[in-house]
Amino acid sequence: MSDAFEARGETSPAMNPEQQQAPVDASAFAELGLAPELVAAVADLGFTQPTAVQAHVMPLALKAEGAERFADLMVSSQTGSGKTAAFLLPVLHTLIQQQAARAEAERVERERLVAEAMARGEAPPKAPKRQNPLLPRNFKAATPGALILCPTRELAQQVAHDAIDLVRHCRGLRIANVVGGMPYQLQIAKLQNADLVVATPGRLLDLQRSMQLKLDQVQFLVVDEADRMLDLGFSDDLAEINALTAQRRQTMMFSATFAPRIQQLAMRVMHDNGKHVQKVQIDSPQEQHANIKQVLFWADNADHKRKLLDHWLRDASINQAIVFASTQIECDGLATELQQAGFAAVALHGALSQGLRNRRLMALRNGQVQILVATDVAARGIDVPTITHVFNFGLPMKAEDYTHRIGRTGRAGRDGLAVTFAEFRDRRRIGDIEAYTQQRFKPEVVPGLEPRERAPQPERFGGRGRGGDRFAGRSNDRFGGDRRGAPPRGPRFENRDSVPRFDPRGGDRFDAARGDRAARQDTRFDPRFEQRTDQRAAPSRGFNDRGPAAPRGGFADRPVRSGPRPNGFGDRPAFGDRARRGR
């Protein structure tokens, strides 16, 4: 099971067979009003108590008795806190109730038809024969009742897997997973009679436009990792899906981080522009991951970072690890280098085919791969409990993604370690991460691999663009010295030498500010500038025609030449000769 649940009871699937045979008390989930089938599935998975986000969200997500409508929710909780089950269990519970109501209505209708036939003395009608939905003549476009959107394929597959585990005791409730990179025909077959669809936006809209899927009967829309879904790459797709499911009864958005601009976009998807939405924030992203230790190592360059990574990967305490890179090229190159060094490493990024991505993730879950080198595509949806270390070889583009990266370790209450390698040129991005998480990194060094350059001094929280002092910690006279302790300086030219400089522009406007012109010439007299005042007063005759030459300092003994220049530049003809030559 993935991060659908976090807090385990005294028994879990990881225990020995004797302990697993003991019944698990999941009465706490039954007290939340869930269907018996779901409570039995939760008990089979070995979970006894709901997490904080589950205990707060599930009563709100379920329709209360006497309520006119379902509540729209916007939930923020840190990674690994059990958000997946917080929205899966209420949605599945409502679908089970609706399925039971339909079955009861069909039973009552059949009993009525049988009673009428017997009253007429006729044979009771036969039950309708169940048709094979895979045959082309029986094909009907899928009309799911619930839709869950995920930004990445891996996250969608993980959520679908969790939903299948929860409906193991539910008869007739079908789950379909729709993601890009997979064969269309296989996914179309899975969509038949599907009650809940877990999809990525691109493939979902492709199937809808080809009339393989209809969204006009969707009652519940759940957006997982809404901050990424509402980002630039998915906002248009989500707007189209919002229009196609305008008749839905409930909208829920879940994420570990909700930036202010993301909240504004999310309100447009809610009913009445979010007028009745309920916000639930279990813990802010700034709160520390108590079970994840975070360390920082400064490096001189990329080669230095590779040496630090090699040192850490040879630690015997590592079970499995994820190494995050900034680009796909860096991801492939780093994975190749680790393979050549003898590590069981594979790369994972968006340029790979979906089949290859699935096989590599399966190898990671089965323990065949020890190190996964990935881009931010693996920052969400990768849930492998045996991942003990996360290495940030390349820093994330946004500070929010750092929280999702380190959340790949320390899952389900376990301990984890997040190691970040940064060059000194990345100190501004490190400051942004510290400002976002409100946590100070504690730099450490590896004996024998100390950085040669001096580590940057810690700055105030706030970072660039986040309201902090942009130049805090710097001591540059250009900005008035140390802004934290020194008093502010006056104008830029204050306290400078009182002796005025010569200004080639001349003019009386400088005399009024700096005193009498004669006094200035007495202070700084230079024969080179003696004739400038007369020349300024004379009318200008062009750039090269400045009137009679005057002796100038440094060049007074140089003879004044006229006519053509001597050898060295060539005996060039006068301007008139060139003009005549060009006729």
Q: What pTM value is reported for the model?
A: 0.63
Q: Residue 273 in contact with residue 395, Cβ under 8 Å? A: no
Helix (H/G/I), strand (E/B), else coil: 540: coil
Q: Residue 53 in contact with residue 84, Cβ under 8 Å? A: no
Q: Residue 255 in contact with residue 227, Cβ under 8 Å? A: yes
Token reading at 508 = 């009386």
Helix (H/G/I), strand (E/B), else coil: 151: coil
**What's residue 66's pLDDT?**
67
CA distances 378 to 170, 218, 323, 384, Å, are 31, 29, 10, 11
Angle between helices 83-119 and 153-166 (to 10 degrees): 50
**What's residue 454's pLDDT?**
66
Dihedral pair phi/psi, residue 362, rounded to 5°: -65, -40
CA distances 281 to 77, 90, 286, 307, Å, are 6, 18, 12, 41
Q: What is the pLDDT along the chain (583 residues), one digit of tens a residue?
A: 555 554 443 333 344 444 444 556 677 888 888 989 999 998 888 888 888 888 889 999 988 776 778 888 988 887 777 888 899 999 999 999 999 898 888 888 888 888 888 888 888 888 777 777 667 777 788 899 999 999 888 889 989 999 999 999 888 899 999 998 888 888 888 888 899 999 999 899 999 999 889 999 999 999 988 877 776 567 788 889 989 998 999 999 988 777 777 777 778 778 777 777 888 888 655 555 667 889 999 999 999 999 999 999 988 889 899 999 999 999 999 999 999 999 999 999 988 888 888 899 889 988 899 999 999 877 776 778 889 999 999 998 888 788 888 888 877 667 889 999 999 899 899 999 888 888 888 889 999 898 887 666 655 544 444 444 443 444 444 434 444 444 444 444 444 444 444 444 444 444 444 444 444 444 444 444 444 444 444 444 444 444 444 444 444 444 444 444 444 444 444 444 444 444 4
Alpha carbon distance 583, 578 (integer Å): 9
- The dihedral sign for the CA sequence 266, 272, 275, 280: negative
**What's residue 457's pLDDT?**
60
Q: Residue 373 in contact with residue 367, Cβ under 8 Å? A: no
Token reading at 347 = 């790369």
**What's residue 459's pLDDT?**
53
- Determine the residue type at 353: S
**What's residue 90's pLDDT?**
93
Q: Which of 71, 79, 102 is nearest to 227 (CA)?
A: 79
**178 - beta bridge partners?**
199
**What's residue 52's pLDDT?**
85
Cβ-based neighbours of 186, under 8 Å, separated by 6 or more: none
Instruction: Tell me the residue length of the chain.
Output: 583
Helix (H/G/I), strand (E/B), else coil: 323: strand
Alpha carbon of residue 86 to chain centroid: 22
- Determine the residue type at 486: A
Alpha carbon distance 235, 334 (integer Å): 33
- The dihedral sign for the CA sequence 340, 343, 349, 355: positive
First-residue to last-residue Cα distance in the chain: 93
Helix (H/G/I), strand (E/B), else coil: 70: coil
Angle, CA 408 vertex, CA 404 and CA 411 arms, to 5°: 120
Structural domains in the chain, CATH included, are 55-107+135-281 (3.40.50.300), 292-453 (3.40.50.300), 459-521 (no CATH)
Other beta carbons within 10 angstroms of residue 574's beta carbon come to 10
Token reading at 208 = 């809808």
Token reading at 142 = 């899928």
CA distances 385 to 315, 321, 349, 477, Å, are 19, 11, 21, 52
CA distances 63 to 34, 56, 76, 340, Å, are 12, 14, 21, 57
